[in-house]
Chains A and B, each alone.
Chain A
Amino acid sequence: ETGVTQSPTHLIKTRGQQVTLRCSSQSGHNTVSWYQQALGQGPQFIFQYYREEENGRGNFPPRFSGLQFPNYSSELNVNALELDDSALYLCASSRPGGGGNIQYFGAGTRLSVL
């Protein structure tokens, strides 16, 4: 089975711009979560999507938004980029069924905001 893939791997944007990051979930997984990992920090939960609906959200402003498509792939959109948005963005997919299910992570997209 294919793993979680994210694109692009690296991205450079300037402050105020908008960015879209993409994630293809692992086969058979219909739940996708997004995380922001700043340098030297642990991943911070942004939100989770299940069956195309937002299923949970961390402490991130509304300019962080997402989508999940019928094939369970997902997008993370960030508007009005700020310097502090520079980070590694990780996507993880899992099977449905609650907190005990393993999350499988992609290698991430490294976003630099100048």
Chain B
Amino acid sequence: AQSVTQLDSQVPVFEEAPVELRCNYSSSVSVYLFWYVQYPNQGLQLLLKYLSGSTLVESINGFEAEFNKSQTSFHLRKPSVHISDTAEYFCAVTSNTGNQFYFGTGTSLTVIP
């Protein structure tokens, strides 16, 4: 079985400051890892994913995440946040068969002007 733990339920940060949203997973098999973002009253949108290869993955809007197998982590980072980054962020894991997804409980990122 797989599970995901997001260590911070709420993260307030000032605009243009760096941020890290933490995610740890547990699994007995190889996994794929994802970060999704959810804006108010909307569905989830994919931010970035790790399947294989380079352990550092980047999104088009400046977020990046690093897969650390030894620490079973997939933390999300951004060097400088904007007001528009205020949203709920979810870490997710799935096996390579892809027929079950496991989400964390989410981290609410609030960017303060």
Which residues of A line the B interface, CB within 8 A?
4, 33, 35, 40-45, 48, 50, 55-56, 58, 90, 92, 94, 97-108
Contact = CB atoms under 8 A, between A and B. Distances in A.
Contacts of B96: 98-100
Classify chain B's interface size: 20 to 34
A106 B43 contact: yes
Contacts of B72: none
Q: Is the interface of B mostly helix, strand, loop or mixed?
A: strand
29 contacts: A4-B43, A35-B103, A40-B105, A42-B90, A42-B103, A42-B106, A43-B101, A45-B101, A45-B103, A48-B99, A90-B43, A90-B44, A92-B44, A98-B96, A99-B96, A99-B97, A100-B32, A100-B51, A100-B96, A102-B46, A103-B44, A103-B46, A105-B36, A105-B44, A106-B43, A107-B41, A107-B42, A107-B43, A108-B43
